[in-house]
Chains A and B, each alone.
Chain A
Amino acid sequence: DQQVKQNSPSLSVQEGRISILNCDYTNSMFDYFLWYKKYPAEGPTFLISISSIKDKNEDGRFTVFLNKSAKHLSLHIVPSQPGDSAVYFCAASVMDSSYKLIFGSGTRLLVRP
């Protein structure tokens, strides 16, 4: 049973427009959420995180929104740049355990010049 789901395997957007990547989770014990970005043949790179006490966290062009009642989070990238093209993984953890990350299956983002 997948506890973290990314239902869109791919997304294509025009350079300069907004990219919205979505993630749903089922485990109400999750209280910390992260987005990682992965280029081919490299390990995932941490992008941004949010704890369950907040509903929004912003870092430059990247904003993560958390809707706890809907068990949904999203990553907004604006404006999108061709260098943002990568696979984006949503991950969740429980802060009082081992902090092991439960990952979604990823969304491949293509930003077209």
Chain B
Amino acid sequence: GAGVSQSPSNKVTEKGKDVELRCDPISGHTALYWYRQSLGQGLEFLIYFQGNSAPDKSGLPSDRFSAERTGGSVSTLTIQRTQQEDSAVYLCASSLSNGDTQYFGPGTRLTVL
């Protein structure tokens, strides 16, 4: 079956522009996570969605970052007024339910010039 997919795979943008990153989780998975990996670093938690519950936004680094999950499936991570320090690989993961194994997508490499 299909795994987690993310688009675009690469995104180059200019400082100050807004970007949207998309995640399609595995069908039937109720939990969805966003992480990012900066160069030479581990993965950093950003936000978590579980069913209809309020998302856990505790990892979002600033109010320029937001995410939504429509219909309990596809999620979009939006970064407004991008800065060079936003350059990273943004990874999405989904799990069948809270506490189950998280399966990761291939990531979106974001470069802010």
Interface of A toward B, CB cutoff 8 Å: 4, 6, 36, 41-46, 49, 89, 91, 95, 98-106
Contact of B42 among A49, A89, A95, A98 (CB under 8 A): A89
Task: Bin the interface of chain B by size.
Answer: 20 to 34
Write out the residue numbers on chain B whose beta carbons fall within 8 Å of the beta carbon of A102: 45
Residue of A at shortest CB range from B93? A43
Residue of A at shortest CB range from B56? A98
B 94-113 binary contact with A (CB < 8 Å = 1; else 0): 01001101111111000000
- Residue B86 interfacial (CB < 8 Å): no
Assembly CA distance A4 to B45 (angstroms): 13
Most chain A CB within 10 A, of B42, B56, B95, B103, is at B42
A-B contact pairs, 12 of them (CB 8 A): A42-B106, A43-B93, A44-B43, A89-B42, A98-B48, A99-B102, A100-B56, A101-B43, A101-B45, A102-B45, A103-B42, A104-B42
- Residue B62 interfacial (CB < 8 Å): no
Write out the residue numbers on chain B whose beta carbons fall within 8 Å of the beta carbon of A36: 104
B 6-29 binary contact with A (CB < 8 Å = 1; else 0): 000000000000000000000000
CB distance from A8 to the nearest CB of B (A): 13
Assembly CA distance A41 to B10 (angstroms): 11
CB distance from A55 to the nearest CB of B (A): 21
Residue of B at shortest CB range from A2? B42
Contact of B33 among A41, A49, A89, A100 (CB under 8 A): A100
CB distance from B77 to the nearest CB of A (A): 15
